[in-house]
Chains A and B, each alone.
Chain A
Amino acid sequence: MDNSFDVIIIGAGVTGCAIARELSRFDCSVLVIEKDEDVCCGTSKANSGIVHAGYDAKPGTLKAKMNIRGNEMMTSLCEDLDIPFKRIGSLVVCTDAAQRSGIDDLYARGITNEVPDMRILEADELREIEPNISDDAVCALYAPTAGVICPFRLNIALAECAAQNGVEFKFDTKVTNVIRDGDGWAVEASDITYNARAVINAAGCHADDIHNLVSDKKLHITPRRGDYMLLDRSLEGFVKHVIFPQPTKMGKGILVTPTVHGNTIVGPTAVDVESKDEAPVTAEGLVKVQEGSAKNVKGLPLKQVITGFSGLRAHEDGGEFILEEAEGCPGFFDCVGIESPGLTACPAIGEYMASLLSEKLSLKQKDTWNGICKDVVKPFELPSAEREKLIRNNPEYGRIICRCETITEGEIIDAIRRPLGAKSLDGVKRRTRAGMGRCQGGFCSPRVMDILSRELGVPLDSITKSGGDSKILTGRTKDEG
């Protein structure tokens, strides 16, 4: 087996996959190495799913540049990759007249960053477009270019598109060392050594560890945990925009927003933690989420919570995106400290890093490149004639497996069979939404497990929630007999 590549990307989150897709435009061999069983398993899987307008970041920083450029790129990217995305606009709400100047400052910063079409809304106008806003609301910064996106599809689509253009992926492969090897690099991962002319470190919360393997100029990431509550789709319309409080130095604060699929999401908290791999939801966190939501939105029925979850932000001490060739390490490129607005920025980071790499390695554009990648076919989003034809030809598209989200067996089969397909319950969930609804997989998980078992040709009791040792079942009944 040839383990030599032009470029190795460490990490299959949104950053790694966005870079992989951009690099796949060039005539070069690319390998993405991921420690988990699937793409979208780290910081990319648990976040607010917001495409930020770009007024937050300090002017002149990479965070600001990548945010603005990423936001610009998002519309066509989402069309090409069939990613659910809605520009619903964001509101930064001032609930204390004494803090009003903060809104003006943010507006000014947005202007410097060249955020388009912002306006400051006074209380009356604000209430008109967002009737459930807090009675304390004084004014708000409105940015129509902000939006909500499906972070799972974004990550998965970037990876699928990269794969269809020749990028290879290795999952369940944990990088243990990166060493200089001649003019290039040797990457040791799960007892195999891979060689590359260049390495891109997109390892999320672990990016400092990877960087510190090769560089004397040490970096340090603090995982910053955030708790969220996700509310039932029956509340669709309760809020209509991404609603932020005024930002603090710990971040953008607890937001309330519709998700692109019509749920309402509330969060995140911001707590610096030790573990880079475990993000438990905490009781205190959930209380803070509830209090935080009440500050800006009145009467939000938090009892309609369908799940709570927690994510990690990869906060580098400098607070800035580090997107560069590491000092003294030719061909080793860092993407470190990719916290918010990382999801928004990822297409821009991909573009930027690919340009650095193509220059470094003198890469040539391919003659043919396919940047279009369709999502799993969703029968209930098709016009009726097309849907009926689909079901006639593939009856499994008429069999509902997930009742809450109306997901059919056909969609689940597609999610499993497609390139970089789902191997676990969570993999199916992120690709189809089966199990993401109000019963949280109570009804459908045994049925999805049956389909996974059949499609993958493995016994039912080897099916996992999310790879590794996360087996759902411990064996058969009446086994010894």
Chain B
Amino acid sequence: MEKRELTCINCPMGCRITVTMEGDDIIAVEGNTCKRGFVYACNEVKSPVRTVTTTIKVTGGVVDRVSCKTKEPVPKNKIFEVMDAINKASCKAPVAIGDVLIEDCAGTGIPVVATKAVSPA
């Protein structure tokens, strides 16, 4: 049995939730004060994911960095691999919002898309 401590992010209460796990199975969720907390805790212990938002190099544009994000959330433990891949990549102006800049970022199967437009220089 393993106990995992979480802080719920759904509201300013920030309930401290304790999830008791047996292998991959959730045995108990304690400390939440509402249903949303229960759902959050279950998802967060099983497969925590985060959207990574950052910038990527751009060449031939009016600026040389453009903001971007993973189109879907990526597994939390992949955040730094995703950052590495984005840091090594670059794209060419013009860029439009939603343009796919990396097809499959760091083997997550998730693309990185631009979140801002860049006109050519």
Show the binding face of A for B, using Cβ within 8 Å: 477-478, 480-481
Chain A nearest CB: distance from B92 CB in Å? 16
* Chain B residue at minimal CB-CB distance from A479: B87
Most B CB contacts (10 A, CB to CB) among A477, A478, A480 go to A478
| A–B Cβ pairs within 8 angstroms, 14 of them | A477-B55, A477-B65, A478-B55, A478-B56, A478-B57, A478-B65, A478-B86, A478-B87, A480-B87, A481-B57, A481-B84, A481-B87, A481-B88, A481-B89
Question: 10 closest pairs, A vs B, by CB?
Answer: A481-B88, A481-B87, A478-B87, A478-B57, A477-B55, A477-B65, A480-B87, A481-B57, A481-B89, A478-B55
Chain A nearest CB: distance from B116 CB in Å? 15
* Whole-angstrom CA separation of A481 from B57 in the bound complex: 10
Find chain A residues with CB under 8 A from B88 CB: 481
Interface range, B side = under 10
* Whole-angstrom CA separation of A478 from B84 in the bound complex: 9
* Chain B residue at minimal CB-CB distance from A478: B87
Find chain A residues with CB under 8 A from B84 CB: 481
Find chain A residues with CB under 8 A from B89 CB: 481
Find chain A residues with CB under 8 A from B57 CB: 478, 481
Find chain A residues with CB under 8 A from B87 CB: 478, 480-481
Find chain B residues with CB under 8 A from A477 CB: 55, 65
B46-66 interface mask toward A, CB cutoff 8 Å, 1 = contact, 0 = none?
A: 000000000111000000010
Chain A nearest CB: distance from B105 CB in Å? 14
* Whole-angstrom CA separation of A480 from B86 in the bound complex: 12
Find chain B residues with CB under 8 A from A481 CB: 57, 84, 87-89
* Whole-angstrom CA separation of A481 from B65 in the bound complex: 13
Find chain A residues with CB under 8 A from B86 CB: 478
* Whole-angstrom CA separation of A477 from B56 in the bound complex: 9
B window 84-109: CB within 8 A of A: 84, 86-89
* Whole-angstrom CA separation of A481 from B86 in the bound complex: 9
* Whole-angstrom CA separation of A480 from B88 in the bound complex: 8
Chain A nearest CB: distance from B90 CB in Å? 8
* Whole-angstrom CA separation of A116 from B25 in the bound complex: 91
Q: Besides the contacts A477-B65, A480-B87, A481-B57, what 11 more A-B pairs have beta carbons closer than 8 Å?
A: A477-B55, A478-B55, A478-B56, A478-B57, A478-B65, A478-B86, A478-B87, A481-B84, A481-B87, A481-B88, A481-B89
* Whole-angstrom CA separation of A477 from B86 in the bound complex: 11
Find chain B residues with CB under 8 A from A478 CB: 55-57, 65, 86-87
* Whole-angstrom CA separation of A477 from B67 in the bound complex: 12
* Whole-angstrom CA separation of A478 from B88 in the bound complex: 7
Chain A nearest CB: distance from B58 CB in Å? 11
Find chain A residues with CB under 8 A from B56 CB: 478
* Whole-angstrom CA separation of A477 from B54 in the bound complex: 10
* Whole-angstrom CA separation of A478 from B87 in the bound complex: 5
Chain B nearest CB: distance from A405 CB in Å? 27
B64-90 interface mask toward A, CB cutoff 8 Å, 1 = contact, 0 = none?
A: 010000000000000000001011110
* Whole-angstrom CA separation of A142 from B73 in the bound complex: 71
Chain A nearest CB: distance from B33 CB in Å? 39
Find chain B residues with CB under 8 A from A480 CB: 87
* Whole-angstrom CA separation of A480 from B85 in the bound complex: 12
* Whole-angstrom CA separation of A360 from B65 in the bound complex: 63
* Whole-angstrom CA separation of A244 from B100 in the bound complex: 67
* Whole-angstrom CA separation of A481 from B56 in the bound complex: 10
Chain B nearest CB: distance from A446 CB in Å? 13
* Whole-angstrom CA separation of A478 from B86 in the bound complex: 9
* Whole-angstrom CA separation of A22 from B56 in the bound complex: 56
Chain A nearest CB: distance from B69 CB in Å? 16
Chain A nearest CB: distance from B14 CB in Å? 30
* Whole-angstrom CA separation of A477 from B68 in the bound complex: 14
Chain A nearest CB: distance from B89 CB in Å? 7
Chain A nearest CB: distance from B83 CB in Å? 9
* Chain A residue at minimal CB-CB distance from B85: A481
* Whole-angstrom CA separation of A477 from B84 in the bound complex: 12
Chain A nearest CB: distance from B80 CB in Å? 13
* Chain A residue at minimal CB-CB distance from B88: A481
Chain B nearest CB: distance from A12 CB in Å? 38
